Amino acid sequence: MTTPAGPHWQRWKRLHNKGALQASRGNLKAANRLVRKAYELTLAAPGDPEALARRAQTLINLANLTEGREAIELVNTAIGLTHECEALVGDEFGTVSLRATLFAVRAMTVLNTGEWREPLADLRRSLELEPANEVAQPVLGHLLSWLNQLATERRHYAEFAKAREILDAGLEAVAWFPLPQEQGMAVLLSTRAMVLAAAGDYAESATDAEAAMALAERVAPELIPNIHLALAEVADGTGDQATSGEHLHLARELFAAIGEAEGEAIALNSLGRLAHLNSRDDEALAHYTAAAKLGADPWHQVVSQFGRAAIAVIQSRPEEALRLLDEMPADSPRFRTAVLQVRGNAYETMAEFAKADECLDQARALCVDNGMWHMALTLDSWRSGALHRRAAYGVPPADLVAPALDLALPAALAAEAARRRFRAGPMRERWIAQAAAPATKAALVAIGATLDEQLVVAYLDHLAAAVSLPGQSAEPAEIDHSALLSLPTPEDLALVASGEGEPLPVPELLLPPRVRANTAVPSRLDPWLDLAEQRYGIQVRSAEVVRSW
């Protein structure tokens, strides 16, 4: 802040301080009168550089007594006055510190309008001028908390890119504090892990969740159950439901231990879903019932009711399911997609196929509109199997072959190609073995129904060439043959035995080529590769073409 008021500014000081006192007591009218009198004193000494500093300081209090655009203009004027004062006498009156405070005040004022980018820029200016500014630091803490809440809200509405932008900005800003803020970093990383998992970016989500867990175990143990929720979603999304269940049980127990009913309800509803997917419907109902009784957020009851509707469909009570699904909230695209899929499944079991198709078309449109590629893949693959099941209701099988193939084959091609979203390692292998495998199976069933031998052969050739080795240098490597003949040193052996040392980097694999019996003639699979890339926005194969075995 500014230096103490000089002898000619004692009356200004008394008026200014009395005004601040009245404002703190809620007497805004009296505060405004006193502060304006103080402001008028600063106008009576046009040749005094200190008048500029005192006027700028007074404008802070006036800004705090107003709001919106008027408050922002007052702060802008004050910032200009600090520059004028410094042009005359430098920082003699502490105007650099005052300007840091003014930037922080403007940040808070603009933040109250719902904007966050400009406040972040102002806070950076403030802390660059004065890293320990007592106004900027709490404002930044408040802003980061608000950004975390805003990102969570954007995740609910499937605005994943916006949520990530917000969290990326927050993670950059948390480093502006003079001292490390590991707890704040853990909160933001945990939330970003949840956002990335919901968007299908499982590899990045796992990285964030693991980093958040390392921080939380040191400085913020209350965050650990939330991080287990993120890790559960990653495991579930990559096909490992057993690991997902372990994380959810841990989260539920930890939430219960710390008395966090809202989090416990989320974990219970998720456990109910996993139990239902594994045909343990009695267990699922128990979880849903318990979740509905916890917390103050009505959303837990909504999710519980949705879960009971999904169970009702499987237990041949589609009418009850449709009744439970009536008036479900439609503000969350992810949840709305799930509701439409269960509603469509209910109509499938009632043989009302036109209504089923209408629901499932709407669900897929939501996936496309909101960038939920992973949910679109799952929906298309599931729908292919549902089409084949219509034969049991009297639909001619020949009428189902083409639409089932159109759903299953592009979905399987994209699911297999999505491995490139993961670095080489266990998660990629899990995706291939567990998440992409059901889509591949559905595609094989759909292709088999066509009796198209050329397509069968082309698809099998495609699966046999699913990965490509990393590119190699054309120059031969220079090898020190004497090193190959030397024995390891005792130090080398000790290092191997201890398991210490840095692991070698794992090379990324190239996009596999297209496989054809005749490289000059497109195979029966080529149009499907193009369709998969167009439909899901995932490059399936490179432009290179090689001969099949």
Tell me which of 215-224, 266-275, 515-524 is least confident.
515-524
pLDDT band with cut points at 50, 70 and 90 for residue 498: very low
Tell me which of 28-37, 84-93, 121-130, 501-510 is least confident.
501-510
272: left (phi over 0), alpha (psi -120 to 50) or beta: alpha
How far is the C-alpha of 194 from the C-alpha of 396, rounded, in Å?
44
> What are phi and psi for residue 13, nearest 5 degrees?
-60, -45
Residue 484 contacts residue 444 (beta carbons within 8 Å): no
Is 514 within a domain? yes
What is the DSSP code (8-state) at residue 505?
Answer: P
Which residue, of 118, 134, 150, is where some domain finishes?
A: 134
Residue range 220-234: mean pLDDT, rounded: 96
* Side chain identity at residue 175, one-letter code: A
What is the DSSP code (8-state) at residue 174?
Answer: G
Is 525 within a domain? yes
> What are phi and psi for residue 480, nearest 5 degrees?
-85, 95
Which residue, of 83, 117, 134, is where some domain finishes?
A: 134
How far is the C-alpha of 54 from the C-alpha of 35, rounded, in Å?
11
pLDDT band with cut points at 50, 70 and 90 for residue 3: low
Collect all residues with Cβ–Cβ distance below 8 Å to 257 and sequence separation of at least 6: none
Per-residue pLDDT at 116 = 94
DSSP string, 269-317: HHHHHHHHHTT-HHHHHHHHHHHHTSSS-THHHHHHHHHHHHHHHHTT-
Total domain count, the chain: 2
Is 203 within a domain? no
Per-residue pLDDT at 429 = 82
Which residue, of 107, 134, 161, is where some domain finishes?
A: 134
* Six token digits for residue 327: 């008036």
- The pLDDT tens digits for 451-479 are 999 999 999 988 887 655 454 444 444 54
Nearest to 538 by CA among 383, 369, 410, 447: 410
DSSP string, 392-445: GGT--THHHHHHHHHHHHHHHHHHHHGGGGS-TTHHHHHIIIIISHHHHHHHHH
How far is the C-alpha of 439 from the C-alpha of 409, rounded, in Å?
8
Is 456 within a domain? yes
* Distance (Å) of CA 520 to CA 370, 402, 453, 531: 38, 27, 20, 20
Q: Which residues pair with 516 in a beta bridge?
A: 547
Per-residue pLDDT at 509 = 63
* Side chain identity at residue 466, one-letter code: A
Is 242 within a domain? no
Which structural domain, as residue segments, surrounds residue 527? 393-466+509-549
Residue range 9-34: mean pLDDT, rounded: 87
- The pLDDT tens digits for 400-435 are 999 999 999 999 999 988 888 887 778 888 888 877
Residue range 182-192: mean pLDDT, rounded: 96
* Six token digits for residue 76: 């802008």
* Six token digits for residue 21: 């006192």
Is 7 within a domain? yes
Is 441 within a domain? yes
Tell me which of 30-34, 263-267, 300-304, 427-431 is least confident.
427-431
- Percent of the chain scoring above 90 in pLDDT: 67
* Average predicted confidence (pLDDT) for the chain: 88
Per-residue pLDDT at 503 = 45
Name the pTM for this structure: 0.84
Per-residue pLDDT at 457 = 92
Is 63 within a domain? yes
Give the DSSP H/E element, type plus range, for residue 516: strand 514-516
- The pLDDT tens digits for 300-337 are 999 999 999 999 999 999 999 999 999 888 789 999 99
- The CATH number that applies at residue 73 is 1.25.40.10
* Six token digits for residue 421: 């979203």
How far is the C-alpha of 116 from the C-alpha of 162, rounded, in Å?
12
